[in-house]
A and B are shown apart, each in its own frame.
Chain A
């Protein structure tokens, strides 16, 4: 199957440019820019240090070093004065809590060591988020230890004590409240019942005052909410059962990345994509920029942003034709055939399909509801009654608030959890408007654009220091509990509000009282037990069925809706605004783990950029290949009248022709000095109708004649022309059941005839087969969506250093696990190709995401070349790396066919250059380090250890309990973080283990097995639900 598909990581590999061919043979970049790093070359040459001076310093240095070495450092050991019951040094404690920053939600478990939270994992008990996490959520532990966090409240920029702050705010607030003034509370979408109750109490307590609470989402779902309100009478989003959908069509909806509860959607999506159960879903994606979701689609059609509406209407007409609805007028579309194909598939799977629309336009969303209704999906794959409460923002109300502020009538504005001065369209001029309120109190973790314009800055807790509750979905409740005492003098909004209302209780008491009232239980032992159980489990699901949304669904007048969608404005260029998987809406833009996580599609780190189709880029004369010596071009771009100068432009395969895309969430100006990453395009977004539109045709683009350094990992660690790295097949081929067709065994010609490569060997085999454990991993390429959750989870678990943009450019990123993204030509396109025109593979390539880490080969090429035996094999099948023995020859990395070894070029934890990048490399941030994993020194190799510390811990627990290790006891950081369960870890010697079962499946293969490495990691062939049988 895989034999005639050509895979390529980037445009340079596709075109086999001379630079690329030269570079792919090298493990390390040839050009070692030591001088750039050490300092100015001319300065060095002009230095007056003579040979004699040098020898003097050398002698002094050696003497000083040896003297220092002689002294025994005195280490102190300081026990608690009064030890708490359950915190024992050396023993990890786990607390269930919930993450909700307004953009992402997941029930999580926080691992603490010696009282410090160090790792975030999914809560496996959660029925709502399904036990997974995404990269943004599992990286959030690092932001707790951000040295730039606000350490005390401020009035007019001066740090004050909380008592002074309370006095000032309370005075002004009470004056306003008692005088019947206007108070406005602007927050992220709040789904916490207790917080909502608290705000309601606040409103009730001052009936004369005009108090309003406005929800605001930077990444708005306002259109979808309004559409659902119109159709069903309740302003809330429905729940999806993606695992039941056999046909999935998405028009611009990046549901695996940005939709509420995308973690659970990803899990359900992967369940529907498992071919072993006899069927798998077919996924059509119509979109402009290649999204994470689109990269997983079976049929992906690149369309311009303005064409989304036409495709939607055409799709409606096809469905209406069959289901008997009234047809609407629609312009003919160039994608007619694909739209028809999608519509037919939807119709064929009525009641077992879902249509997603990504647009924030109310009418577009209404049309989507009409189609889903026509397909009979409500009540089957879509549950309108089981509403999700995570998104509540109303773009209109935010706009109304701004005009209220501008009128100068607002006495007090309280802002929590959002940064509107950064993320609202510039046409609203929020910062200016906020200045007109008599008092503005902004709660924030660190200084930002909104706090800069506020009169009062309330330093807020990190969520790991706070109490809260949540009601993410009808009938599902969760509790957020603090896992550490606030590190700084901070206080959460709810506690402040209680204080300013004159209530003498904490928010914790308030939550408990509210739960007592809601549950109908009396305070007492029964409630305490319920409360403690919920606190321990983290989540609670009521048995009662979801109450049906009150009103009967209203029939949607498709014709008038279609008319109001109308003809979309087009332009020479159109630009779409999207969220990256790492940075999202920018809540955690200061988190270096997320900045260094390569984008799943572009593989670019530490930047946002204008993405363009490669053919367009070539026509414009822009560079299409990027590397250490190859910079991107820059453009001046004017979006909705707002000009961004000298911003980089990137050729992105799969981007629709003549369309552009740019990620939001970058360019936050207030942070570390001189450090602004990317540029902020939120202000360039504009209101269109009642919502903020996520694309615009008002774009002017001109070449700025500049160069921009790009840090991309695209061409790092190449496959060196070996083409058996990934294997894929079509569903029909897979169903034929002929393994030879889709997953043939590698054979080799010997004197005894053709033999399986596994039977021919130079080496004596390791005795791993029966003795003790034999650890290994399987990765299902069909389930992997490429989200990168495993990468940041590994970073967090294994103390992987952050190296920064400069070093990533030099191919020196340190990630132990990476996700290789391979493009390949779409076989359908190849088949249907008109022979008069040349195929342009970059226009619409297919994508394979392949997590790649140390394969723990039983016959490891790295082990045989190490001159000091620093890398050896264990009897449990693990390729061990012993840092303290390594002398840094790097032979092992040169000899590794999987390119998974990483070299410590610098002492990342000691050099200022890196400490400035990464909070986890400064004194406060060091608290996030996992104490069970060595922090590697300069000059040694490192690589995936299969989370050796977790294996040892799991074995020890079993030994202490006197029982065998049970399959599933031990999970690696990557496997536990994976929202789709693509990664499985276990013991091949355990006959009941899942890894054994998966490694024996028809789809199991080992990457470049033909080189005879006998690796312990099995992958499973990717199956696409396509008709094509060839290729």
Chain B
């Protein structure tokens, strides 16, 4: 039994080490960027809104094969200033212009080296991409799994059970040894008692310790009950399945889109706002296929708007998307995003966690009152350059200024930020 546990332990330890090395090597690899990798970044910032790296056409044509089709020099000129090339009467250029509905490609602020990198990426994408992406996905998944295992309470429980087993075996061994010892010395051997009886006997002898243990046990149960009660209505980690498999990781992480591009009312409104599908269309008119679910999930936006991706026209049969709200505050709490985002200059991540790494939106913090209050106690008020606070500060009598500034900062709570009616009215 104990051998088995030990083996398990050993295996999982190995697994952790193995996975850590694996993850680390992955990170290391990422730093040694090839041309193709640099090109991917450039592609995403300059080209992706109109071109796909593969064969499908967005606004402009898919770029698969473009590196072989044209002269490198011609490509440099075309990308840097296609209008000039067309005007110069270049036959190839005019042909491309005519072929794609006479939509001019805007001049791109890239140099020849960068164009090379982009083309290297496009080439790489068409030749090797699919396999690589799958590998990357697997790596991250395993990394997360390992991390979770390390912190799992089950793990601790197993260790405790194992220790108990060891203790019991040692006790038996000791008992046997003492019998052997006794026999050797010819003493009278005590009748062996059952373990249960032994515990009872021990308990009878050590009433104080039993009493103490009893108190500890009651305290533990009470603590567990208390924690459970406190946890009612707290949904840390709430991660419901949404009608569209929208990934913050892809949008905010990989593509680096600012949070407030979509949740723009966070800056001026009580609510951060869920973007309406017409906002999605700023990009998704052209980006019609996602890396993971292809056309399926993006298609749901089109369905909501009754948009035909081929003809790029809107129909009348719109229907709203029913997202599931993740962060729910009770009705008796007033929370205003703009107070925190615009006035307090608090980063979104402070309350929402590393959203740019979430594939599914989830609640990161407990959103309990204690959690709010703690932050209000610790957070410094962003007074600099704000006329409102200047006025409030000017009104303060000297002794209060001294008291507030004792620790060098003025916190939210010192300006009344933990008073009831700041949030409850």
Task: Give chain A's interface residues, CB within 8 Å of chain B.
Answer: 69, 72, 74-83, 88-91, 767, 770-773, 872, 874-876, 878, 880-885, 932-935, 945, 948-949, 952, 955-956, 958-965, 989
Contacts and interface: CB of A to CB of B under 8 A. Distances in A.
B231 to A, nearest CB: 11
Contacts, number: 161
B320 A875 contact: no
A958 B342 CA distance: 12
B33 interface: no
A932 B423 CA distance: 10
Interface stretch (B34-42, B51-59, B323-331): B323-331
B392 interface: yes
Contact of A89 (B269, B391, B400): B269
B325 A88 contact: no
Nearest to A89: B271
B276 interface: yes
A955 B415 CA distance: 13
B25 to A, nearest CB: 41
A945 B330 contact: no
A771 B325 CA distance: 39
A74 B273 CA distance: 18
B395 interface: yes
A345 to B, nearest CB: 49
Interface in B303-327: 304-305, 318-325
Binding site of A, secondary structure by majority: helix, strand, loop or mixed? Answer: loop
B179 to A, nearest CB: 54
Contacts of A90: 265, 269-271, 273, 336-337
B192 interface: no
A204 B318 CA distance: 45
A878 B416 CA distance: 12
Nearest to B269: A90
A81 B318 contact: yes
A503 to B, nearest CB: 27
B268 A884 contact: no
B421 A874 contact: yes
A989 B269 CA distance: 28
B396 interface: yes
Among all A-B residue pairs, the 7 with the closest Cβ atoms: A90-B270, A964-B391, A880-B421, A90-B271, A90-B269, A83-B276, A948-B425
B400 A949 contact: no
A707 B323 CA distance: 58
Interface in B362-414: 385-392, 395-397, 400
B424 A952 contact: no
Contact of B320 (A80, A952, A958): A80
B274 A949 contact: no
Given A89-B265, A878-B421, A884-B332, 14 more contacts: A80-B276, A88-B271, A90-B336, A91-B270, A881-B421, A882-B420, A932-B425, A934-B332, A935-B331, A952-B334, A956-B338, A959-B389, A960-B268, A963-B387
Nearest to A76: B322
Contacts of B325: 75-77
A883 B270 CA distance: 21
Nearest to A964: B391
A875 B416 CA distance: 6
Residue of B337, B416, B424 most packed against chain A (CB within 10 A): B424
A884 B388 CA distance: 31
A872 to B, nearest CB: 6
B144 interface: no
A79 B388 contact: no
Contact of A83 (B279, B330, B387, B415): B279
B78 interface: no
A69 B338 CA distance: 32
Contacts of A933: 425
Contacts of A773: 392
Nearest to B271: A90
Nearest to A874: B419
Interface stretch (B81-89, B195-203, B232-240): B232-240
Interface string B250-278: 00000000000000010011110111111
A959 B425 contact: no
Contact of B388 (A767, A874, A948, A955): A955
Contacts of A881: 421
B98 to A, nearest CB: 34
B418 to A, nearest CB: 10
A83 B387 CA distance: 33
Given A79-B273, A79-B323, A82-B277, A771 B396 contact: yes
B247 interface: no
Contacts of A882: 420-421, 424
A338 B217 CA distance: 90
Contacts of A770: 395-397, 400
B8 interface: no
A770 B422 CA distance: 19
B165 to A, nearest CB: 36
A949 B273 contact: no
8 contacts: A77-B324, A78-B274, A772-B395, A874-B422, A882-B420, A952-B336, A959-B388, A964-B390
Interface in B122-150: none
B343 interface: yes
A959 B338 CA distance: 10
A91 B323 CA distance: 21
Nearest to B243: A76
A77 B274 contact: yes
Given A88-B269, A880-B419, A880-B420, A81 B334 contact: no
A89 B420 CA distance: 25
Contacts of A989: 395
Contacts of A964: 387-388, 390-392
A934 B331 contact: yes
Given A78-B322, A772-B415, A962-B385, A934 B425 contact: yes
Given A72-B238, A89-B269, A960 B342 contact: yes
A78 to B, nearest CB: 5
Contact of A771 (B238, B268, B391, B395): B395
A948 B338 contact: no
B339 interface: yes
Given A74-B240, A884-B330, A81 B277 contact: yes
Given A82-B277, A958-B388, A872 B324 contact: no
A375 to B, nearest CB: 52
A792 to B, nearest CB: 20
A81 B304 contact: yes
B305 A81 contact: yes
B425 A945 contact: yes
A767 B328 CA distance: 35
A796 to B, nearest CB: 16
A949 to B, nearest CB: 6
Nearest to B420: A882
Contact of B269 (A72, A91, A958, A962): A91
Residue of A77, A88, A962 most packed against chain B (CB within 10 A): A77
Residue of B279, B304, B388, B389 most packed against chain A (CB within 10 A): B388
A883 B323 contact: no
Contacts of B238: 72
B167 to A, nearest CB: 38
A952 B270 CA distance: 12
B334 A76 contact: no
B424 A81 contact: no
Contacts of B332: 883-884, 934
Contact of A79 (B320, B331, B334): B320
A79 B265 contact: no
Contact of B276 (A82, A872, A949, A963): A82
A88 to B, nearest CB: 5
Residue of B270, B275, B420 most packed against chain A (CB within 10 A): B420
A932 B425 CA distance: 8
A965 to B, nearest CB: 7
A956 B325 CA distance: 26
Residue of B321, B400, B419 most packed against chain A (CB within 10 A): B419
A74 B324 contact: yes
